[in-house]
Amino acid sequence: MISLVLLQVENLRTYFVILRGEVKAVDGAAFKLNKGQSLGLAGESGCGKTTAALSILKLLPSNARIKEGKILFEGEDILKLKDEVFRKAYRWKKISLISQGAMNALNPVMNVGDQIAEAIMLHDDASRDDAHDRAGKLLDLVGVGKERLARYPHELSGGMKQRTVIAMALACNPDLIIADEPTTALDVITEAQVLGVIRELQKKLHLSMIIISHDLSMIAETCDGVAIMYAGKIVEQGDIVAVYKDTLHPYTQKLIGAFPSIIGEKTELLTIPGFPPDLLNPPSGCRFHPRCQYAMDICRKENPEMVKVKDKEHYVACHLVK
């Protein structure tokens, strides 16, 4: 099956300018996403995963600069588009966001129906009645129910709020949804319910998704592919089974091993010594070398290139893999 590439990010560098210099939040990240697939973007906090997502949506704070790179969406470099064009033609219509801390992303003084309808009216030129009608259908779709259109956010539980935010992201039939930590603040049972909704919608609507999370167990159960990010770079990427089963990068190995599993034998939990690096002055060579148990001389000097592993959809950037 030939799958169409929906989004391709090439050598993206997004830096934040602060008084002490430039924080290299995303420093040469590259990944691609096929139509109808879901990609997990995983890594510790501060590794640049949210910044990468906001770069795609062009929603970066004012002190951020995209220094280099291309973001090709259906073949078109969206970084070259004017903000106005991007806002009208792409944002929310083609690419939408389920933001981090979605529980607090809702406006507390507006009922949820109006909030969803607002997005529809703004981007789709729909009438008020049509917009409300569609908002109701969306709420039905995510399992909140259209009878809750007139409710205010404080009247909904955490899981319901999260579903409402998902409904809002679906409002203009986007091709790509970026979900930034969609279940972080939820309890396990609510999390399982919300993930169920996400998986179901993805199948039904043939959505493409990027799910950003530090929770590798959640990604294992939701995504088709995964990209592991460390200090602004992608260190390993590929098909979900390949990455989890034939893990090659030492960082990915440790990260997966750090998760306690509820099933099977109780195994020793792995820890990663040290702390994530300071992105103002990232380490030379491979950025993981100060914390890597296999670090060699070359790791300190040269940054490893991303190489393809055998003939599988599996890429890794590590000097150990040749």
Question: Contact residues for other proteins (CB under 8 A)?
Answer: 44-45, 157, 159-160, 187-193, 195-196, 214-218, 220-221, 240-241, 244-245, 254-256, 258-263, 266, 269-273, 275
Q: What is the DSSP string of 122-169?
A: HHH---HHHHHHHHHHHHHHTTS-GGGTT--GGGS-HHHHHHHHHHHH
Least distance to other proteins, CB of residue 237, Å: 14
In the bound state with other proteins, the residue whose beta carbon lies nearer, of 72 and 220, is 220
* Contacts with 34 (C-beta within 8 Å, 6 or more apart), sequence order: 3, 4, 5, 6, 208
Least distance to other proteins, CB of residue 117, Å: 25
Least distance to other proteins, CB of residue 96, Å: 24
In the bound state with other proteins, the residue whose beta carbon lies nearer, of 66 and 195, is 195
**Alpha helices (runs of H) in the chain, residue ranges in sequence order:** 49-57, 83-89, 112-124, 128-141, 158-169, 188-205, 216-222, 240-245, 250-257, 297-301
d(CA 29, CA 9): 7
Least distance to other proteins, CB of residue 260, Å: 4
In the bound state with other proteins, the residue whose beta carbon lies nearer, of 193 and 303, is 193
Q: Is 75 left (phi over 0), alpha (psi -120 to 50) or beta?
A: left
Least distance to other proteins, CB of residue 33, Å: 17
In the bound state with other proteins, the residue whose beta carbon lies nearer, of 52 and 216, is 216
Please report, in angstroms and rounded to a whole number, the separation of the first and last CA atoms in the chain. 29
Distance set, CA 280 to CA 16, 299, 301, 321 (Å): 9, 20, 18, 28
In the bound state with other proteins, the residue whose beta carbon lies nearer, of 119 and 186, is 186
Residue 158, burial from CB neighbour count under 10 angstroms (0-12, 13-18, 19+) = middle
Least distance to other proteins, CB of residue 254, Å: 7
In the bound state with other proteins, the residue whose beta carbon lies nearer, of 61 and 273, is 273
In the bound state with other proteins, the residue whose beta carbon lies nearer, of 44 and 118, is 44
d(CA 322, CA 308): 9
Least distance to other proteins, CB of residue 295, Å: 17
